[in-house]
Structure 1
Amino acid sequence: MATPAPLAALQETRRVTLSLPPTAPKPLVILILLADTPVPSVLSTSGTYHSIFSTLLARASALASTQAQANGADPLALGPELVVESYDAVHQVYPTEERVKEADAVLITGSASSAYLPTPWITSLVSYVASLPTLNPTAKIFGICFGHQIVARAFGSTVEVNEKGWEIGVRTLDLSEEGRVLFGGDKLTIHQVHRDHVPSLPPSFACLGSTKACDIHGMVKKVDENLPLSPSNVSIITLQGHPEFTSDIVGKIIDAREKGRVISHELAEESRKFAAETDEGVRIGRVLLSTLGV
Protein backbone atom coordinates (compact mmCIF):
# COMPACT_ATOMS: atom_id res chain seq x y z
CA MET A 1 0.00 0.00 0.00
CA ALA A 2 1.34 3.45 -0.89
CA THR A 3 2.45 5.64 2.00
CA PRO A 4 0.28 8.78 2.28
CA ALA A 5 1.92 12.13 1.63
CA PRO A 6 3.25 13.99 4.69
CA LEU A 7 0.60 16.05 6.42
CA ALA A 8 0.67 19.04 8.72
CA ALA A 9 0.84 18.25 12.43
CA LEU A 10 -2.85 19.06 12.75
CA GLN A 11 -4.44 17.73 9.61
CA GLU A 12 -7.98 18.96 10.01
CA THR A 13 -10.38 20.36 12.57
CA ARG A 14 -14.14 20.20 12.45
CA ARG A 15 -16.66 21.58 14.89
CA VAL A 16 -19.89 19.65 15.34
CA THR A 17 -22.38 22.08 16.82
CA LEU A 18 -25.54 21.33 18.79
CA SER A 19 -28.05 23.98 19.85
CA LEU A 20 -26.50 25.57 22.93
CA PRO A 21 -27.66 27.79 25.77
CA PRO A 22 -25.73 31.02 26.41
CA THR A 23 -23.82 29.37 29.30
CA ALA A 24 -22.98 26.13 27.50
CA PRO A 25 -20.17 23.99 28.95
CA LYS A 26 -16.79 24.05 27.26
CA PRO A 27 -16.49 22.18 23.95
CA LEU A 28 -15.73 18.49 24.02
CA VAL A 29 -12.44 17.68 22.29
CA ILE A 30 -11.93 14.41 20.40
CA LEU A 31 -8.44 13.78 19.01
CA ILE A 32 -8.25 11.33 16.11
CA LEU A 33 -5.02 9.45 15.36
CA LEU A 34 -5.16 8.71 11.63
CA ALA A 35 -3.65 5.32 10.81
CA ASP A 36 -4.35 5.32 7.08
CA THR A 37 -5.71 7.19 4.07
CA PRO A 38 -8.88 5.87 2.34
CA VAL A 39 -8.59 4.17 -1.04
CA PRO A 40 -8.82 6.78 -3.84
CA SER A 41 -12.44 6.01 -4.74
CA VAL A 42 -13.51 6.58 -1.13
CA LEU A 43 -11.28 9.63 -0.69
CA SER A 44 -12.86 11.28 -3.75
CA THR A 45 -16.43 10.83 -2.51
CA SER A 46 -16.28 10.68 1.30
CA GLY A 47 -13.03 12.48 2.10
CA THR A 48 -10.34 11.57 4.60
CA TYR A 49 -10.93 9.45 7.69
CA HIS A 50 -11.12 12.76 9.55
CA SER A 51 -14.14 13.66 7.41
CA ILE A 52 -15.67 10.19 7.66
CA PHE A 53 -15.45 10.09 11.46
CA SER A 54 -16.59 13.70 11.78
CA THR A 55 -19.68 12.81 9.76
CA LEU A 56 -20.39 9.85 12.03
CA LEU A 57 -20.03 12.02 15.14
CA ALA A 58 -22.28 14.71 13.64
CA ARG A 59 -24.97 12.12 12.88
CA ALA A 60 -24.57 10.61 16.35
CA SER A 61 -24.87 14.09 17.88
CA ALA A 62 -28.09 14.65 15.95
CA LEU A 63 -29.42 11.34 17.25
CA ALA A 64 -28.46 12.34 20.80
CA SER A 65 -30.38 15.62 20.36
CA THR A 66 -33.43 13.84 18.99
CA GLN A 67 -33.43 11.34 21.85
CA ALA A 68 -33.01 14.09 24.44
CA GLN A 69 -35.91 16.10 23.03
CA ALA A 70 -38.07 12.98 22.92
CA ASN A 71 -37.37 12.60 26.63
CA GLY A 72 -38.49 16.17 27.29
CA ALA A 73 -35.16 18.01 27.27
CA ASP A 74 -34.96 21.68 26.35
CA PRO A 75 -33.68 21.77 22.73
CA LEU A 76 -31.49 24.76 23.70
CA ALA A 77 -29.70 22.81 26.43
CA LEU A 78 -28.73 19.54 24.81
CA GLY A 79 -25.00 19.58 25.28
CA PRO A 80 -21.68 21.10 24.27
CA GLU A 81 -20.02 21.59 20.93
CA LEU A 82 -17.69 18.85 19.70
CA VAL A 83 -14.25 19.77 18.37
CA VAL A 84 -12.70 16.99 16.26
CA GLU A 85 -8.97 17.21 15.52
CA SER A 86 -6.92 14.71 13.52
CA TYR A 87 -3.20 13.84 13.53
CA ASP A 88 -1.12 11.72 11.16
CA ALA A 89 0.02 8.70 13.19
CA VAL A 90 1.58 7.06 10.12
CA HIS A 91 4.17 9.83 10.13
CA GLN A 92 4.34 9.72 13.94
CA VAL A 93 2.75 13.13 14.35
CA TYR A 94 0.84 13.36 17.62
CA PRO A 95 -0.94 16.10 19.56
CA THR A 96 1.06 17.98 22.16
CA GLU A 97 0.93 16.81 25.77
CA GLU A 98 -0.96 20.01 26.59
CA ARG A 99 -3.62 19.20 23.99
CA VAL A 100 -3.96 15.63 25.22
CA LYS A 101 -4.51 16.95 28.72
CA GLU A 102 -7.37 19.10 27.37
CA ALA A 103 -8.95 16.24 25.40
CA ASP A 104 -12.06 14.33 26.34
CA ALA A 105 -11.26 11.36 24.07
CA VAL A 106 -8.60 9.97 21.75
CA LEU A 107 -9.74 7.78 18.83
CA ILE A 108 -7.46 5.46 16.83
CA THR A 109 -8.75 4.71 13.32
CA GLY A 110 -8.68 1.63 11.15
CA SER A 111 -5.91 0.86 8.68
CA ALA A 112 -5.07 -1.55 5.88
CA SER A 113 -1.83 -2.24 7.77
CA SER A 114 -1.52 -5.13 10.24
CA ALA A 115 -1.28 -4.08 13.88
CA TYR A 116 1.10 -6.94 14.75
CA LEU A 117 3.86 -5.74 12.40
CA PRO A 118 7.10 -4.33 13.88
CA THR A 119 6.91 -1.32 11.55
CA PRO A 120 8.34 1.74 13.38
CA TRP A 121 5.19 3.86 13.13
CA ILE A 122 3.05 0.97 14.43
CA THR A 123 5.29 0.24 17.41
CA SER A 124 5.42 3.98 18.09
CA LEU A 125 1.62 4.13 18.03
CA VAL A 126 1.36 1.19 20.43
CA SER A 127 3.69 2.95 22.87
CA TYR A 128 1.86 6.24 22.48
CA VAL A 129 -1.55 4.68 23.19
CA ALA A 130 -0.12 2.91 26.23
CA SER A 131 1.01 6.31 27.55
CA LEU A 132 -2.37 8.02 27.21
CA PRO A 133 -3.77 7.08 30.66
CA THR A 134 -0.68 8.67 32.20
CA LEU A 135 -0.91 11.80 30.05
CA ASN A 136 -4.62 12.24 30.76
CA PRO A 137 -6.28 9.73 33.12
CA THR A 138 -9.78 11.07 32.41
CA ALA A 139 -9.67 10.99 28.59
CA LYS A 140 -11.57 8.13 26.99
CA ILE A 141 -9.80 5.92 24.45
CA PHE A 142 -11.76 4.69 21.42
CA GLY A 143 -10.24 2.06 19.11
CA ILE A 144 -11.77 1.16 15.75
CA CYS A 145 -10.68 -2.02 13.86
CA PHE A 146 -6.89 -1.54 13.54
CA GLY A 147 -7.29 0.87 16.48
CA HIS A 148 -8.99 -1.88 18.50
CA GLN A 149 -5.99 -4.09 17.79
CA ILE A 150 -3.50 -1.35 18.69
CA VAL A 151 -5.28 -0.88 22.03
CA ALA A 152 -5.06 -4.64 22.65
CA ARG A 153 -1.29 -4.56 22.08
CA ALA A 154 -0.83 -1.40 24.13
CA PHE A 155 -2.49 -2.90 27.19
CA GLY A 156 -1.03 -6.40 27.17
CA SER A 157 -2.58 -8.63 24.50
CA THR A 158 -1.60 -9.64 20.96
CA VAL A 159 -2.88 -9.43 17.38
CA GLU A 160 -2.68 -12.13 14.73
CA VAL A 161 -4.12 -13.27 11.41
CA ASN A 162 -7.48 -14.95 11.97
CA GLU A 163 -7.36 -18.51 10.62
CA LYS A 164 -11.12 -18.26 10.00
CA GLY A 165 -10.49 -15.65 7.32
CA TRP A 166 -12.01 -12.34 6.33
CA GLU A 167 -15.15 -10.66 7.61
CA ILE A 168 -16.35 -7.98 5.19
CA GLY A 169 -19.67 -6.17 5.12
CA VAL A 170 -22.37 -5.94 7.77
CA ARG A 171 -22.17 -8.70 10.36
CA THR A 172 -24.34 -9.31 13.42
CA LEU A 173 -22.60 -9.51 16.77
CA ASP A 174 -23.88 -11.58 19.66
CA LEU A 175 -23.43 -9.15 22.52
CA SER A 176 -21.93 -10.12 25.85
CA GLU A 177 -23.40 -8.98 29.15
CA GLU A 178 -21.20 -5.88 28.95
CA GLY A 179 -22.23 -5.28 25.33
CA ARG A 180 -25.89 -5.48 26.26
CA VAL A 181 -25.37 -2.92 29.04
CA LEU A 182 -23.81 -0.39 26.66
CA PHE A 183 -25.70 -1.04 23.41
CA GLY A 184 -28.98 -2.58 24.58
CA GLY A 185 -30.54 -5.75 23.17
CA ASP A 186 -28.73 -8.96 22.36
CA LYS A 187 -27.44 -8.16 18.84
CA LEU A 188 -25.56 -5.38 17.08
CA THR A 189 -24.99 -4.93 13.34
CA ILE A 190 -21.82 -3.21 12.14
CA HIS A 191 -19.69 -3.04 8.98
CA GLN A 192 -16.53 -5.16 8.98
CA VAL A 193 -13.37 -5.11 6.89
CA HIS A 194 -10.79 -7.28 8.64
CA ARG A 195 -8.80 -10.49 8.55
CA ASP A 196 -6.65 -9.92 11.66
CA HIS A 197 -8.10 -10.26 15.15
CA VAL A 198 -7.36 -10.03 18.87
CA PRO A 199 -7.23 -13.62 20.19
CA SER A 200 -7.30 -12.81 23.91
CA LEU A 201 -8.32 -9.95 26.20
CA PRO A 202 -5.79 -7.67 27.88
CA PRO A 203 -5.94 -7.62 31.70
CA SER A 204 -8.99 -5.81 33.17
CA PHE A 205 -10.81 -5.70 29.82
CA ALA A 206 -14.16 -7.36 29.04
CA CYS A 207 -15.43 -8.56 25.67
CA LEU A 208 -18.36 -6.70 24.10
CA GLY A 209 -19.49 -9.28 21.55
CA SER A 210 -18.57 -11.98 19.08
CA THR A 211 -19.39 -13.68 15.78
CA LYS A 212 -18.69 -17.23 14.66
CA ALA A 213 -15.56 -15.98 12.89
CA CYS A 214 -14.25 -13.67 15.63
CA ASP A 215 -14.52 -14.21 19.37
CA ILE A 216 -13.53 -10.68 20.46
CA HIS A 217 -15.39 -8.05 18.44
CA GLY A 218 -14.84 -5.27 20.91
CA MET A 219 -13.52 -4.57 24.38
CA VAL A 220 -14.31 -2.31 27.30
CA LYS A 221 -12.36 -1.26 30.37
CA LYS A 222 -13.99 0.44 33.33
CA VAL A 223 -12.84 3.60 35.06
CA ASP A 224 -13.67 2.03 38.44
CA GLU A 225 -13.65 -1.77 38.62
CA ASN A 226 -15.69 -1.65 41.84
CA LEU A 227 -18.69 0.03 40.18
CA PRO A 228 -21.18 -1.41 37.66
CA LEU A 229 -20.53 -0.81 33.98
CA SER A 230 -22.28 2.24 32.54
CA PRO A 231 -21.37 4.85 29.88
CA SER A 232 -19.92 7.10 32.58
CA ASN A 233 -17.82 4.20 33.93
CA VAL A 234 -16.08 3.48 30.61
CA SER A 235 -12.39 4.28 30.32
CA ILE A 236 -11.61 2.46 27.06
CA ILE A 237 -13.97 1.06 24.41
CA THR A 238 -13.00 -0.63 21.16
CA LEU A 239 -14.71 -2.24 18.19
CA GLN A 240 -13.34 -4.63 15.60
CA GLY A 241 -15.92 -3.28 13.15
CA HIS A 242 -16.40 0.12 11.53
CA PRO A 243 -19.33 2.26 12.75
CA GLU A 244 -18.04 5.07 10.52
CA PHE A 245 -18.42 3.05 7.30
CA THR A 246 -21.41 3.03 4.96
CA SER A 247 -22.45 0.49 2.34
CA ASP A 248 -21.02 2.77 -0.35
CA ILE A 249 -17.65 3.04 1.39
CA VAL A 250 -17.37 -0.70 1.99
CA GLY A 251 -18.43 -1.42 -1.59
CA LYS A 252 -15.59 0.76 -2.87
CA ILE A 253 -13.10 -0.94 -0.53
CA ILE A 254 -14.24 -4.34 -1.80
CA ASP A 255 -13.75 -3.19 -5.40
CA ALA A 256 -10.24 -1.92 -4.63
CA ARG A 257 -9.18 -5.06 -2.80
CA GLU A 258 -10.56 -7.34 -5.47
CA LYS A 259 -8.78 -5.33 -8.16
CA GLY A 260 -5.54 -5.49 -6.15
CA ARG A 261 -6.03 -9.25 -5.68
CA VAL A 262 -6.09 -8.88 -1.91
CA ILE A 263 -9.35 -10.82 -1.91
CA SER A 264 -10.76 -13.28 -4.43
CA HIS A 265 -13.63 -12.57 -6.81
CA GLU A 266 -15.76 -15.11 -4.93
CA LEU A 267 -15.13 -13.43 -1.57
CA ALA A 268 -15.77 -10.01 -3.12
CA GLU A 269 -19.14 -11.11 -4.49
CA GLU A 270 -20.17 -12.60 -1.16
CA SER A 271 -18.97 -9.51 0.72
CA ARG A 272 -20.94 -7.13 -1.52
CA LYS A 273 -24.14 -8.85 -0.39
CA PHE A 274 -23.23 -8.31 3.26
CA ALA A 275 -22.17 -4.71 2.57
CA ALA A 276 -25.65 -3.87 1.26
CA GLU A 277 -27.34 -4.79 4.54
CA THR A 278 -28.43 -2.28 7.20
CA ASP A 279 -25.96 -1.37 9.94
CA GLU A 280 -26.22 0.44 13.28
CA GLY A 281 -23.15 2.65 12.99
CA VAL A 282 -24.90 5.85 14.09
CA ARG A 283 -26.31 4.15 17.18
CA ILE A 284 -22.80 2.94 18.00
CA GLY A 285 -21.49 6.48 17.55
CA ARG A 286 -24.20 7.61 19.94
CA VAL A 287 -22.91 5.16 22.56
CA LEU A 288 -19.37 6.49 22.12
CA LEU A 289 -20.64 10.01 22.75
CA SER A 290 -22.60 8.83 25.77
CA THR A 291 -19.30 7.90 27.47
CA LEU A 292 -18.46 11.62 27.24
CA GLY A 293 -21.72 12.61 28.89
CA VAL A 294 -23.48 13.66 25.68
Structure 2
Amino acid sequence: MNLKVARPLRIAILECDTPLPQTKKKFQGYGGVFEFLLRAGARALNSPDLDPDTGFELTRWQVELEPEKYPDPATVDAILITGSKHDSFADTPWINKLVDYTTKILTETNVRVIGVCFGHQIVGRALKVGVGRNPQGWEAAVNQIQLSAKGKEIFGVDTLRLHQMHRDCVFTYPEGVEALGSSPVCKVQGMYVAKRLFTVQGHPEFNQEIMTEIVNTRHATGVFDDKAFQEHSGKVALPHDGLVVSQAFLKFLLEQ
Protein backbone atom coordinates (compact mmCIF):
# COMPACT_ATOMS: atom_id res chain seq x y z
CA MET A 1 0.00 0.00 0.00
CA ASN A 2 1.43 3.36 -1.09
CA LEU A 3 0.85 6.02 1.57
CA LYS A 4 2.67 8.87 -0.14
CA VAL A 5 0.82 12.16 -0.58
CA ALA A 6 2.23 15.15 -2.45
CA ARG A 7 0.16 17.89 -0.79
CA PRO A 8 -1.95 18.36 2.33
CA LEU A 9 -5.07 16.24 2.67
CA ARG A 10 -8.04 18.48 1.92
CA ILE A 11 -10.78 17.36 4.30
CA ALA A 12 -14.14 19.13 4.57
CA ILE A 13 -15.71 18.47 7.97
CA LEU A 14 -19.50 18.65 7.70
CA GLU A 15 -20.65 19.70 11.17
CA CYS A 16 -24.14 18.35 11.83
CA ASP A 17 -24.61 19.64 15.36
CA THR A 18 -23.23 22.09 17.94
CA PRO A 19 -21.38 20.71 20.98
CA LEU A 20 -22.55 21.23 24.54
CA PRO A 21 -21.11 24.32 26.31
CA GLN A 22 -17.93 22.88 27.87
CA THR A 23 -16.94 21.06 24.68
CA LYS A 24 -17.81 24.07 22.54
CA LYS A 25 -15.69 26.33 24.73
CA LYS A 26 -12.67 24.04 24.33
CA PHE A 27 -13.03 23.06 20.65
CA GLN A 28 -15.40 25.74 19.20
CA GLY A 29 -17.32 23.11 17.23
CA TYR A 30 -17.23 19.46 16.30
CA GLY A 31 -14.83 20.42 13.54
CA GLY A 32 -12.34 21.27 16.28
CA VAL A 33 -12.94 17.94 18.01
CA PHE A 34 -12.19 16.08 14.78
CA GLU A 35 -9.19 18.23 13.99
CA PHE A 36 -7.73 17.25 17.36
CA LEU A 37 -8.45 13.56 16.62
CA LEU A 38 -6.91 13.63 13.13
CA ARG A 39 -3.75 15.41 14.21
CA ALA A 40 -3.35 13.01 17.14
CA GLY A 41 -3.82 10.12 14.70
CA ALA A 42 -1.14 11.55 12.41
CA ARG A 43 1.30 11.79 15.31
CA ALA A 44 0.58 8.20 16.30
CA LEU A 45 0.80 7.01 12.70
CA ASN A 46 4.23 8.62 12.46
CA SER A 47 4.32 8.47 8.68
CA PRO A 48 6.92 10.54 6.82
CA ASP A 49 4.19 11.31 4.28
CA LEU A 50 1.78 12.98 6.72
CA ASP A 51 2.98 15.77 8.98
CA PRO A 52 0.57 16.27 11.91
CA ASP A 53 0.89 20.06 11.63
CA THR A 54 1.18 20.73 7.89
CA GLY A 55 -0.36 17.60 6.36
CA PHE A 56 -3.96 18.76 6.55
CA GLU A 57 -6.07 21.42 4.92
CA LEU A 58 -9.20 21.27 7.07
CA THR A 59 -12.36 23.25 6.42
CA ARG A 60 -15.55 23.31 8.47
CA TRP A 61 -19.08 23.48 7.09
CA GLN A 62 -22.00 23.90 9.50
CA VAL A 63 -24.55 22.12 7.35
CA GLU A 64 -27.22 22.06 10.06
CA LEU A 65 -27.31 25.84 10.55
CA GLU A 66 -26.13 26.89 7.07
CA PRO A 67 -27.56 24.20 4.78
CA GLU A 68 -27.05 26.34 1.70
CA LYS A 69 -23.26 26.07 2.05
CA TYR A 70 -21.46 22.91 0.98
CA PRO A 71 -17.91 22.35 -0.28
CA ASP A 72 -17.30 22.11 -4.01
CA PRO A 73 -16.23 18.47 -4.54
CA ALA A 74 -13.47 19.68 -6.87
CA THR A 75 -11.75 21.41 -3.96
CA VAL A 76 -11.56 18.52 -1.47
CA ASP A 77 -10.14 15.02 -1.19
CA ALA A 78 -12.62 13.85 1.43
CA ILE A 79 -15.67 14.80 3.43
CA LEU A 80 -16.14 13.82 7.06
CA ILE A 81 -19.75 13.78 8.31
CA THR A 82 -19.97 14.25 12.08
CA GLY A 83 -22.38 12.98 14.67
CA SER A 84 -25.55 14.79 15.68
CA LYS A 85 -28.35 14.73 18.25
CA HIS A 86 -30.83 14.77 15.35
CA ASP A 87 -32.46 11.72 13.79
CA SER A 88 -30.64 10.67 10.63
CA PHE A 89 -33.91 9.31 9.23
CA ALA A 90 -35.85 12.55 9.75
CA ASP A 91 -37.63 14.04 6.75
CA THR A 92 -36.29 17.55 7.30
CA PRO A 93 -34.83 19.82 4.60
CA TRP A 94 -31.26 20.08 5.86
CA ILE A 95 -30.96 16.34 6.52
CA ASN A 96 -32.49 15.47 3.15
CA LYS A 97 -30.04 17.85 1.48
CA LEU A 98 -27.14 16.21 3.33
CA VAL A 99 -28.26 12.78 2.11
CA ASP A 100 -28.54 14.07 -1.45
CA TYR A 101 -25.09 15.67 -1.27
CA THR A 102 -23.56 12.47 0.14
CA THR A 103 -25.21 10.44 -2.61
CA LYS A 104 -23.76 12.78 -5.23
CA ILE A 105 -20.29 12.54 -3.70
CA LEU A 106 -20.44 8.73 -3.71
CA THR A 107 -21.87 8.35 -7.21
CA GLU A 108 -20.41 11.25 -9.20
CA THR A 109 -16.98 11.99 -7.71
CA ASN A 110 -13.79 10.38 -6.41
CA VAL A 111 -14.04 12.25 -3.10
CA ARG A 112 -13.74 9.86 -0.18
CA VAL A 113 -16.35 9.79 2.57
CA ILE A 114 -15.94 9.26 6.31
CA GLY A 115 -19.08 9.01 8.44
CA VAL A 116 -19.24 8.96 12.24
CA CYS A 117 -22.41 7.98 14.17
CA PHE A 118 -25.09 10.22 12.58
CA GLY A 119 -22.71 10.50 9.61
CA HIS A 120 -22.46 6.71 9.41
CA GLN A 121 -26.25 6.58 9.26
CA ILE A 122 -26.41 9.31 6.61
CA VAL A 123 -24.10 7.19 4.44
CA GLY A 124 -26.45 4.27 5.03
CA ARG A 125 -29.38 6.40 3.80
CA ALA A 126 -27.36 7.52 0.79
CA LEU A 127 -26.73 3.85 -0.02
CA LYS A 128 -30.48 3.13 0.16
CA VAL A 129 -30.64 0.91 3.25
CA GLY A 130 -32.94 1.31 6.21
CA VAL A 131 -32.03 3.67 9.03
CA GLY A 132 -34.18 4.22 12.10
CA ARG A 133 -34.75 3.84 15.82
CA ASN A 134 -32.92 0.85 17.24
CA PRO A 135 -35.43 -1.47 18.95
CA GLN A 136 -32.68 -2.41 21.42
CA GLY A 137 -32.41 1.17 22.62
CA TRP A 138 -29.43 3.27 23.57
CA GLU A 139 -25.77 2.34 23.27
CA ALA A 140 -23.72 4.84 25.26
CA ALA A 141 -20.22 5.44 26.66
CA VAL A 142 -17.44 2.91 26.02
CA ASN A 143 -18.61 -0.39 24.53
CA GLN A 144 -16.82 -3.30 22.89
CA ILE A 145 -17.23 -4.02 19.19
CA GLN A 146 -16.66 -7.48 17.77
CA LEU A 147 -14.71 -7.01 14.57
CA SER A 148 -15.09 -8.92 11.33
CA ALA A 149 -12.02 -10.27 9.56
CA LYS A 150 -11.96 -7.07 7.50
CA GLY A 151 -12.37 -4.99 10.64
CA LYS A 152 -9.38 -6.69 12.25
CA GLU A 153 -7.36 -6.02 9.11
CA ILE A 154 -8.39 -2.36 8.88
CA PHE A 155 -7.95 -1.49 12.54
CA GLY A 156 -5.05 -3.81 13.32
CA VAL A 157 -6.66 -5.09 16.54
CA ASP A 158 -8.86 -8.07 17.45
CA THR A 159 -11.57 -6.07 19.22
CA LEU A 160 -12.40 -2.39 19.33
CA ARG A 161 -13.61 -0.30 22.25
CA LEU A 162 -15.30 2.98 21.35
CA HIS A 163 -17.47 5.62 22.92
CA GLN A 164 -21.04 5.33 21.67
CA MET A 165 -23.99 7.71 21.92
CA HIS A 166 -26.90 6.58 19.77
CA ARG A 167 -30.35 5.01 19.78
CA ASP A 168 -30.62 5.01 15.97
CA CYS A 169 -28.90 2.56 13.69
CA VAL A 170 -28.33 1.31 10.16
CA PHE A 171 -30.38 -1.88 9.97
CA THR A 172 -28.51 -3.77 7.23
CA TYR A 173 -25.25 -3.55 5.33
CA PRO A 174 -25.61 -2.05 1.85
CA GLU A 175 -24.68 -4.21 -1.12
CA GLY A 176 -21.01 -4.01 -2.00
CA VAL A 177 -19.94 -2.69 1.42
CA GLU A 178 -17.57 -4.63 3.67
CA ALA A 179 -18.79 -5.12 7.24
CA LEU A 180 -16.33 -4.03 9.91
CA GLY A 181 -18.00 -5.19 13.10
CA SER A 182 -21.03 -5.49 15.33
CA SER A 183 -22.09 -5.27 18.96
CA PRO A 184 -24.92 -6.93 20.93
CA VAL A 185 -26.93 -3.70 20.63
CA CYS A 186 -26.07 -2.73 17.06
CA LYS A 187 -25.39 -5.06 14.14
CA VAL A 188 -23.91 -2.47 11.74
CA GLN A 189 -20.96 -0.87 13.52
CA GLY A 190 -18.85 0.05 10.51
CA MET A 191 -18.83 0.05 6.72
CA TYR A 192 -15.93 0.11 4.30
CA VAL A 193 -15.25 0.35 0.59
CA ALA A 194 -11.60 0.86 -0.34
CA LYS A 195 -10.87 4.40 -1.58
CA ARG A 196 -14.58 5.32 -1.35
CA LEU A 197 -16.11 5.21 2.13
CA PHE A 198 -15.32 4.39 5.75
CA THR A 199 -17.88 4.71 8.53
CA VAL A 200 -18.18 3.86 12.21
CA GLN A 201 -21.25 3.95 14.45
CA GLY A 202 -19.08 4.81 17.46
CA HIS A 203 -17.42 8.09 18.37
CA PRO A 204 -13.62 7.87 18.07
CA GLU A 205 -13.46 11.65 18.61
CA PHE A 206 -15.05 11.50 22.08
CA ASN A 207 -13.11 11.26 25.31
CA GLN A 208 -14.08 10.94 28.97
CA GLU A 209 -14.63 14.68 29.38
CA ILE A 210 -16.88 15.06 26.33
CA MET A 211 -18.88 11.92 27.13
CA THR A 212 -19.34 12.90 30.77
CA GLU A 213 -20.87 16.23 29.72
CA ILE A 214 -23.27 14.47 27.35
CA VAL A 215 -24.33 11.78 29.84
CA ASN A 216 -24.83 14.33 32.62
CA THR A 217 -26.87 16.60 30.36
CA ARG A 218 -29.07 13.79 29.10
CA HIS A 219 -29.71 12.70 32.67
CA ALA A 220 -30.55 16.24 33.75
CA THR A 221 -33.01 16.66 30.87
CA GLY A 222 -34.68 13.30 31.44
CA VAL A 223 -33.36 11.51 28.34
CA PHE A 224 -31.56 9.03 30.63
CA ASP A 225 -33.35 7.83 33.75
CA ASP A 226 -31.38 7.14 36.93
CA LYS A 227 -30.70 3.53 36.02
CA ALA A 228 -29.38 4.38 32.54
CA PHE A 229 -27.35 7.26 33.98
CA GLN A 230 -25.62 4.94 36.44
CA GLU A 231 -24.93 2.36 33.73
CA HIS A 232 -23.48 4.83 31.24
CA SER A 233 -21.58 6.86 33.85
CA GLY A 234 -19.79 3.70 34.89
CA LYS A 235 -18.30 3.36 31.40
CA VAL A 236 -17.20 6.91 30.53
CA ALA A 237 -13.69 6.43 31.93
CA LEU A 238 -12.96 3.05 30.36
CA PRO A 239 -10.05 2.81 27.91
CA HIS A 240 -11.10 3.35 24.30
CA ASP A 241 -9.57 3.03 20.83
CA GLY A 242 -10.32 6.39 19.28
CA LEU A 243 -6.68 6.79 18.31
CA VAL A 244 -6.72 3.41 16.56
CA VAL A 245 -9.71 4.52 14.48
CA SER A 246 -8.09 7.86 13.68
CA GLN A 247 -5.03 6.11 12.26
CA ALA A 248 -7.25 3.79 10.22
CA PHE A 249 -9.12 6.81 8.82
CA LEU A 250 -5.83 8.38 7.75
CA LYS A 251 -4.55 5.21 6.09
CA PHE A 252 -7.84 5.07 4.18
CA LEU A 253 -7.47 8.69 3.06
CA LEU A 254 -3.86 8.26 2.00
CA GLU A 255 -4.17 4.97 0.17
CA GLN A 256 -3.36 5.26 -3.53
Q: TM-score, with normalisation over the residues of structure 2?
A: 0.92
The answer on 1:275 being equivalent to 2:247 is no
In structure 1, the partner of 2:203 is 242
Q: Give the letter aligned to residue 105 of structure 1.
A: A
- Kindly state the Cα deviation for residue 168 of structure 1 after the two structures are TM-superposed: 0.7
User: Is structure 2 residue 248 aligned with structure 1 residue 292?
Assistant: no
| Contact residue 34 and residue 109 of structure 1 kept, 8 A | yes
Aligned-residue identity in percent: 33
State how far apart, in whole Å, the 2-side matches of 1:105 and 1:177 are: 25
Match of 1:149 among 121, 132, 150: 121
Separation in structure 1 between the aligned mates of residue 58 and residue 227 of structure 2, nearest angstrom: 39
Given that 2:63 and 2:70 are in contact with CA atoms closer than 8 Å, whether structure 1 keeps it comes out as no
Distance 1:162 1:78, change over 3 A: closer
**1:106 — aligned with what?**
79
Decide which of 77, 83, 95 is 1:122's aligned counterpart: 95
**In the TM superposition, what whole-angstrom CA distance separates every residue of 1:2-32 from its partner, at most 9, and x where no partner exists?**
xxxxxxxxxxxxxxxxxxxxxx822110001
Q: Which of 134, 137, 140 is residue 112 of structure 2 equivalent to?
A: 140
| Aligned-CA RMSD value | 1.6
User: What is the rounded CA distance, in whole Å, between the counterparts of 1:112 and 1:95 in structure 2?
Assistant: 20
Structure 1 residue matching 2:196: 3-state secondary structure: strand
1:41 aligns with 2:13: no
Contact preservation (8 Å) 1:33, 1:107: yes
Contact 2:80 2:115 in 1 (8 A): yes
- Residue 86 of structure 1 corresponds to 60
Cα deviation, 1:213-265, whole Å, max 9, x if unaligned, reads 111111112xxxxxxxxxxx331010000000001100000011111111112
Match of 1:263 in 2: 224
Tell me how far apart the structure 1 counterparts of residues 68 and 231 of structure 2 sit (CA, whole Å): 38
**AA paired with 1:141?**
V
Cα offset, 1:46, TM superposition: 3.6
**Could you tell me which amino acid in structure 1 is paired with residue 21 of structure 2?**
P
Structure 2: which 5+ residue stretches go unaligned?
none
**Which consecutive segments of 4 or more residues in structure 1 shift more than 4 A?**
77-80
Q: Does 1:253 align with 2:214?
A: yes
Please report the TM-score for the alignment, with normalisation by the length of structure 1.
0.80
Does structure 2 conserve the Cα–Cα contact (< 8 Å) formed by 1:32 and 1:107?
yes
Structure ID, larger Rg: 1
Return the alpha-carbon distance in structure 2 between the equivalents of residues 128 and 293 of structure 1. 23
What's the offset of the Cα at 1:88? Answer: 1.3
Which residue identity lines up with residue 231 of structure 2 in the other structure?
E
Deviation track 1:54-111 (CA, whole Å, cap 9, x = no partner) reads 000110011111xx4xxxxxx6x655611111101113143343xx223121000000
**Are residue 220 (structure 1) and residue 192 (structure 2) matched?**
yes
Deviation at 1:178, TM superposition (A): 1.3
Q: Given residue 182 of structure 1, which amino acid in structure 2 is its aligned partner?
A: I
Q: Which moved more, 1:82-91 or 1:127-136?
A: 127-136
**Contact residue 34 and residue 87 of structure 1 kept, 8 A:** yes
Distance, in Å, in 2 between the alignment partners of 1:236 and 1:293 is 13
Q: AA paired with 1:129? A: T
Deviation at 1:34, TM superposition (A): 0.7
Q: Is the 8 A contact 1:156 1:203 kept in 2?
A: no
Cα offsets for 1:155-193 (capped at 9, x unmatched): 111111111111111111000111011012320111100
1:178-217 residue pairs with structure 2 within 5 A?
178-217=150-189
The alignment partner of 1:275 has SS state of coil
Give the drift of 1:283: 1.4
* Residue 51, structure 1, aligned to residue 32, structure 2: yes
Question: Separation in 1 of the partners of 2:87 and 2:63?
Answer: 14
Which residue number corresponds to residue 95 of structure 1?
70
Structure 1 distance, partners of 2:144, 2:32, is 26
Aligned to 1:60: 41
**CA 1:43–1:159: 2 relative to 1, 3 Å:** same
Q: CA deviation at 1:150?
A: 0.3
